[in-house]
Amino acid sequence: MASVVYNEFKYRSAVAYMSGKDIRARLVMTNTTCDTENDGIANLSDFSAIDPADAGGYADVALAGEATSKDDSGDRGEIDANDVVFSSLDGDATRDYQGVLLYEYVDGTDANDIPVAFIDFSADISSAATQVTVPWDADGIIQYT
């Protein structure tokens, strides 16, 4: 039995989710469990350990330039945004940076904010970094396949 989810639905699902949402990026260090936990995760507080950056000057960053698109040749819907820059870090984090947790900002509490995706860096970034730039994949941040 063949099954197909049509590209227009994938695209419209991406549009519906992103519409009016405040999506933010949280830089996480190497003790995170965001890369291994999925089942039962509905809010940020459900993770065993997010391990957010603790460098002086650190703050989560709101995504900007969000866009959705339909990729017929790749059979998917895509979500993209401008690259994220965590700037003004003091270079004094206690551990290296492993990746970025994207989440829907609801009210600024882990009990209510909703995880969207974890993006692992290809290599950890030094805890001494004073700026971390996250260049998203050329095909977008998230692909609905």
Residue 89, C-beta contacts closer than 8 angstroms, at least 6 positions apart: 53, 55, 56, 57, 58, 129, 130, 131, 132
pTM assigned to the model: 0.94
Q: 4-32, pLDDT tens digit by residue?
A: 999 999 999 999 989 999 999 999 999 99
What single DSSP character describes residue 135?
A: P
**pLDDT digits 0-9 by tens, 99-124:** 999 999 999 999 999 999 999 999 99
Q: Which two tokens stand for residue 81?
A: 């945004």
Q: Is the predicted pLDDT of residue 145 greater than 90, yes or no? A: no
Terminal CA-CA length for the chain:
19
